[in-house]
Amino acid sequence: MVTSPDELSAALESVGYLPDEGIATAAFLAQRLGRPLFCEGDPGTGKTSLAVALSQALSVPLIKLQCHEGIDFTQALYDWDFPRQLLHLRALEAASGGALDSELAEKSLYSRRFLLARPLLRALEESPCVLLVDEVDRADDEFEAFLLEILGENAVTVPELGEVRASVPPLVILTSNRTREVHDALKRRCLYHWLEHPSLGREVAILRRRLPELPERLATQVASAVRRLREMELLKPPGVAESLDWASALTALGRSELDAASAAATLGAVLKYREDTQRVVAVGLEAILAG
Ligand SMILES: Nc1ncnc2c1ncn2[C@@H]1O[C@H](COP(=O)(O)OP(=O)(O)O)[C@@H](O)[C@H]1O
Ligand SMILES: [Mg+2]
């Protein structure tokens, strides 16, 4: 149990996540008030890794629900292990010598041992834990409503088995890359935090923390160049992940300087759309690196 945002901040830093004050406070409040934290921001601003770092910092398991188009109840909450149920039924039939009590058989088929717990159910059963509901904007409206219900109750009823209730609410981190607006009802249940790209100083610190052999000067050059690229309204502005990739690529090529030549050789680590590369080349790498 951490008792202040500063303490949580230090705990996150100790596992390699460098939060700013805003995100440390938001995560602290989520934990303290038992409310889900809804993190929105551009890709690569550290939303997913926040949940990973929180689980490490708080020494609790991380349970991840990756959302995608068409995700449903059976992938998120629970499902029945149909092949094993079938095998069990065959065994029961064989043992009964043709006099199977169908009611009893059904009862044993729908027992806990044939239930496949998916992330939401596991989180309720295993809490205290961090439950990461990642990229909720990729799921549909119906799924959102379902999620809202579970997060509101911290419990779920499996008709055949009864209620499963979390003894303590899991620390829930929802993330969205904002490919669509998530409904107000879901946001209302949550604390909200918009993650910005890190400041120059923080990004340099992240680069050096993640890539200890990276010289400070090169780290600063990469972080500064990435900041300028972010100001260009590209189709896919680079996130921290791209800064890390760029720095790794430069290091792998043995470059100790981010100049126009080394930038040109490694641009694919930081820009992922042909249109973006063309725009950057048209503006001129020299100009971008010079600021
Ligand atoms: N504040 C931070 N401290 C340490 N690493 C960070 C931070 N923010 C982002 N990163 C790193 O940047 C990369 C992308 O972060 P990620 O959490 O996947 O972004 P998102 O989920 O917002 O798209 C990861 O490798 C992550 O570890
Ligand atoms: Mg993510």
CATH of residue 15? 3.40.50.300
Q: How far is the CA of 111 from the centre of ligand 1 (A)?
A: 41
> Quick one: 213 and 92 in the same domain?
no
> Quick one: 138 and 124 in the same domain?
yes
Q: Whose CA is nearest to atom 7 of ligand 1?
A: 46
Tens of pLDDT, residue by residue over 57-96, are 999 999 999 999 999 999 999 999 999 999 999 999 999 8
**Domain enclosing residue 220, as ranges:** 200-290
The DSSP string of the chain is ---SHHHHHHHHHHTT----HHHHHHHHHHHHHT--EEEEESTTSSHHHHHHHHHHHTT--EEEEE--TT--HHHHTEEE-HHHHHHHHHHHHHHHTT---HHHHHHHHTSGGGEEE-HHHHHHHH-SSEEEEETGGGS-HHHHHHHHHHHHHTEEEETTTEEEE-SS--EEEEEE--SSPPPHHHHHHSEEEEEPPPPHHHHHHHHHHHSTTS-HHHHHHHHHHHHHHHTT--SS---HHHHHHHHHHHHHTT--S--HHHHHHHGGGT---HHHHHHHHHH-HHHHHH-
Q: Domain boundary at 195, 225, 244, which?
A: 195
> Quick one: 101 and 245 in the same domain?
no
pLDDT of residue 244: 97
> Quick one: 51 and 133 in the same domain?
yes
> Quick one: 156 and 207 in the same domain?
no
Index of the ligand 1 atom closest to the CA of residue 19: 1
Domains: count for the chain = 3
Q: Domain boundary at 139, 162, 195, which?
A: 195
| pTM, two decimal places | 0.93
Give me the residue label for tokens 């080394």: 262
Residue 139 pLDDT > 90: yes
pLDDT of residue 195: 96
Percentage of the residues of the chain whose pLDDT score is greater than 70: 100
User: Is the Cβ atom of 43 under 6 angstroms away from ligand 1?
Assistant: yes
> Quick one: 133 and 246 in the same domain?
no
Question: Quick count: other Cβ atoms within 10 Å of Cβ 250?
Answer: 22
User: Is the Cβ atom of 124 under 6 angstroms away from ligand 1?
Assistant: no
Rounded to the nearest 5°, which phi and psi values hold at 24?
Answer: -65, -40
pLDDT of residue 259: 94
Percentage of the residues of the chain whose pLDDT score is greater than 90: 93
Banded pLDDT at 97 (limits 50, 70, 90): confident
pLDDT of residue 207: 98
> Quick one: 51 and 89 in the same domain?
no
> Quick one: 98 and 19 in the same domain?
no
Asked if residues 133 and 173 have their Cβ atoms less than 8 Å apart, the reply is yes
Q: 195: buried, middle or exposed (CB in 10 Å: 19+, 13-18, 0-12)?
A: buried
How many angstroms from the chain centroid is the CA of residue 252?
Answer: 28
Q: Probe ligand 1: pick from 49, 138, 243, max atoms within 8 Å of CB?
A: 49
Q: How far is the CA of 50 from the centre of ligand 2 (A)?
A: 9
Banded pLDDT at 291 (limits 50, 70, 90): confident
> Quick one: 144 and 48 in the same domain?
yes
**Nearest alpha carbon to residue 229 among 204, 197, 252:** 197
Q: State mean pLDDT over 241-253.
A: 96
> Quick one: 30 and 155 in the same domain?
yes
Q: Probe ligand 1: pick from 18, 62, 240, 272, max atoms within 8 Å of CB?
A: 240
> Quick one: 186 and 265 in the same domain?
no
> Quick one: 174 and 224 in the same domain?
no
